[in-house]
Structure 1
Amino acid sequence: MAGSLAELPPNILSEILSRLPIKSLVACRTVCKTFLDITSSNPFFNSLHSSKTAPNLIIQLGSVHNPTRLVHLVESGLDTAFMSGGIAELKLMFRIPNYPSRYFERYHVHTGEENNFVLVNSCDGLLYFAERDVCERSFVCNPIMKEYLTLPEFDKERNRRQLTMGSWFGFSVGDNQYKVLRIFSTLTGRPWEIGFKQEFWAQVHVVGSSLWRDIANQPPSEYLTWDTCFTLLNGTVYWLCRYPELSKFIIFFDFHQEKFGEILPPLELGTGWQINQHCMSMGVLGGCLSVTVNTEFLDIWVVEKSSGQVSWTKKFVIDTSVHMGHHLIEGPFKPLQILSNRHIILMMIWSDDVVVCYDAKERTFKFFKLNGVRSVCRSVMLRPSFVPLKDALMVDNVVVQNSQ
């Protein structure tokens, strides 16, 4: 018999620790060296924990133009937390670091300590933040480990009239590299002059390197920005096109091939989707890319790729006229997760402090307020990772935050 919990065989101890809630597991890592070693850079534990843990809802408070420095987590027990009551509790996980203030003479702008870093997307347990204003700096962090890495700024001196439209973080399985895609525009001349020209380009940064590299494949749309509805899945970032570009449905970028492509809409949608784009959103359900269309009914489509072929399937048709004390307005719903007990978790885009849980069997809705939240700047789903950032990104210059 083991004299203490720490003396149990490693495989049994891993099994026990992998079942703990995230905040409890983080606390256990500070108890003793045995717990820390088992949960750090341990492929067996990481695989075990990932198989038992549902993705967590991560949110940044505030607005896109006035984000806060606080990043919160709604515990992975969406199954239990969202079933037990009408309030979802938030837990502070990460504080966006302060960056040195700078004065940009050509913009006549001074950047203070409250930099406007906005949560862009998640990938493999990591979060990517970008400063969307003048500086356009960015960093990658592991909110569970409270570690972050600042990425190099792009070479703006090459063309001082560049404007970053957006940047996204992803992983290339074929290259075994984390990369950042940046889409930007260049200006030639002035808008009121003959010969004025605005062109759109793309660059890729391999995390761990010091440069941004131009790619030959130009963006197929000038409307791919941070504010475009997008989703990252299996090494590819997808954008759901909106007004004013009615001819395109979904555009994607493959991080491995470093090429853009396009996915056509389901034939059943006909041309109706072009006038209902304001009622559409995109997410990931059951490991597949999904698109929701909320008009008379809330239709959820999933797309699957096989041997280069794309196929659409309408998985759910939800009657939004059947609700429980809450008006389901016409507008986009962001699919977040399918729970093991047939429930679908969605977020109301136009009321981003409300999470909706739909029971596919009973055909009923439950609505959950995020406790103490007035507005959400950004929300993503994250499957926590206990792999140190230096090992995940294969870099050395990682900063560790003090325990909060």
Structure 2
Amino acid sequence: MELEEHLQEDERTCSSSSIDNLPNEILVDILSHLPIKSLINCKCVCKSFLSIISQDPEFRFLHLSKPASPELIVCTPRTDKMILVDSIANRAHELDLVFNEPFAMTVLNSTRGLLCLQPYCYSGPHCVFNPFTLEFTLIPDSVKGIKEYSVLSYGFGYCPISDKYKVLKIIKLWNLNGNNPPLLTTEIYTLGTPSWRRVEDAPMVVYNDYVPTFLNGSLHWMINEVGITIYNSYGYMISFDLNNEKYGQVALPPPLDIGRDRKHMKMVTLGVFEGWLSVFVLNSNKRLDVWAMKEYGVRESWVREIVVDTSLFFLSHRSFPVNYVNDGEDVLFFNADYGIFTYKLFERKIVNCIKFTGWRPNDDYEAKALIHVPILLSLNELVVGAQVHRLTGR
């Protein structure tokens, strides 16, 4: 049996001499290897487990240092409901959230246990939210006294070198009093600080992704070739390093090299698959190619990791492969139109479909899914100086 099954089998085992006599450091080490969902169950077993998990700060940081399995969070158009997907157990359950007005939010992305939420209809403050502790902190507005501007991109990430969470905003400032072209400025907000900072200006390019992809301490965008704005026009990728706060460029996989014929590509999206920076290419012959950069920043490390026959299902813009399951023989897929399913790579068929219930996303209001690694620490521990609030209900 699994360790957590033993812990839940009989609550009386915790009061037995075998458990009571275990040194505290051994209990801490054992519990630190459990996933967060198992720790929630262990808190209800006995007082010693509850004390370690809820009150021992050393335990929480030890648990953070252990490798964590990513989870899938599926969000409704407004975050009054989230679906937590357990791909190993092949089940999902809903988490109801209660944000007091005006906090009707939509989820942008996930970084190191925290979600960045944007006000629905873009009116009001953004916030950063821990769905495990139900704590959130508000992000102040960066643009004051400027009437003519538009936000082109909004990113959220974590800098492991400085141990800081940062928010990035690319703003297009319109020059209404002269003939100068508009200016793209970059502003950075470090959680726990009082205000935004302006850093180097953003490249004057067409940003296809409002929310950039975060990986390896950097944010990433797919960029159109100059003067072209259609799906199959991607020419390169730019990045923003959250440590040195500088822009850079990342090579795309070979099929997307500038000058290549890409008329057969119906859709190209950027994401993360199994911890690799990845590009998902949907071809007109109903085939999805998943390209993965096995060594970050090395152009030659791009490989076509998997090929999926999409004649079995419709793949919309926000759909993507989540991760390998069953020892790499199958792939878990999120489909924004109707649910989550497992695709068998060798047999080329769909099994174990989990359909959305109670709501059906459509048009611009389709569901959004995020790869999320939960974190046990409170926001006060993660972000020094932040003003932390807590949801009043689920």
Q: TM-score, normalised by structure 1?
A: 0.78
Secondary structure of the residue that 1:156 maps to in structure 2? coil
Q: Hey, what does 1:399 align to over in structure 2?
A: 389
User: What's 2:134 paired with?
Assistant: 146
CA deviation after TM superposition for structure 1 residue 294, in Å: 1.8
Q: Secondary structure of 2:269's match? A: strand
Report what 2:277 is aligned to. Answer: 289
Shift, 1:28, TM fit: 4.5
Instruction: Determine the C-alpha separation between the residues in 2 that align with 1:250 and 1:256.
Output: 19
Q: Structure 2 unaligned segments of length 5 or more: list them.
A: 1-12
- 1:49 offset after TM fit, Å? 7.5
What letter matches 2:359 in structure 1? V
Tell me if structure 2 keeps the 8 A contact 1:123–1:232. yes
Q: What residue is the counterpart of 2:95 in the other structure? A: 92
Residue from 149, 153, 165 that aligns with 1:162: 149
CA deviations 1:214-250 (Å, max 9, x no partner) are 1124234242553x6x421121111234660735332
Q: Which of residues 196, 220, 226 in structure 2 aligns to 1:212?
A: 196
| Equivalent pair of 1:235/1:254 in contact (CA under 8 Å) | yes
Task: Please say if residues 32 and 59 of structure 2, whose CA atoms lie closer than 8 Å, have aligned partners that are also in contact.
Answer: no
Q: Which residue of 1 aligns with 2:82?
A: 71
Deviation digits for residues 240-283 of structure 1 (CA, Å, limit 9, x no counterpart)? 34660735332221111212222233234555574456422222
**Contact conserved, 1:344 with 1:360, CA < 8 A, in 2?**
yes
Do the aligned residues in 1 keep the contact of 2:106 with 2:118 (CA within 8 Å)? yes
Correspondence 1:380 to 2:375: no
Aligned residue identity for 2:198: D
In 2, Cα distance between the equivalents of 1:301 and 1:19? 32
Match of 1:34 in 2: 48
Amino acid at match of 2:360: R
Distance in 1 of aligned mates of 2:310 and 2:299: 32
Q: How much does 1:180 deviate?
A: 0.6
Amino acid corresponding to residue 279 of structure 1 in structure 2: M
Aligned-partner Cα distance in 1 for 2:58–2:193? 26
Runs of 4+ in 1 over 6 A off after TM superposition: none
Percent identical: 24
Of 342, 347, 350 in structure 2, the residue corresponding to residue 357 of structure 1 is 342
Distance 2:112 2:220 in 1: 17
Tell me: CA distance 1:345–1:357, structure 2 relative to 1, closer, same or farther (3 Å).
same
Residue identity matched to 1:373: W
Instruction: Look up the match of 1:102.
Output: none
2:107 aligned partner: 119
Secondary structure class of the residue paired with 2:235: coil
Shift of 1:150: 1.0
Q: Judge conservation of contact 2:14–2:45 (CA < 8 Å) in 1.
A: no
SS at match of 2:30: helix
**Residue 300, structure 1, aligned to residue 315, structure 2:** no
Q: 1:90 to 1:160 in 2, by over 3 A?
A: same
Question: Are residues 1:182 and 2:169 paired?
Answer: yes
Letter in 2 for 1:152: P
Distance in structure 1 (CA, Å) of the matches to 2:35 and 2:386:
30
| Whole-angstrom CA distance in 2 between matches of 1:118 and 1:335 | 22
Three-state SS of the structure 2 residue aligned to 1:39 is: helix
Structure 1 residue ranges without an equivalent (≥5): 82-87, 99-112
Shift of 1:291: 1.2
- In 2, distance between residues paired with 1:310 and 1:132? 41
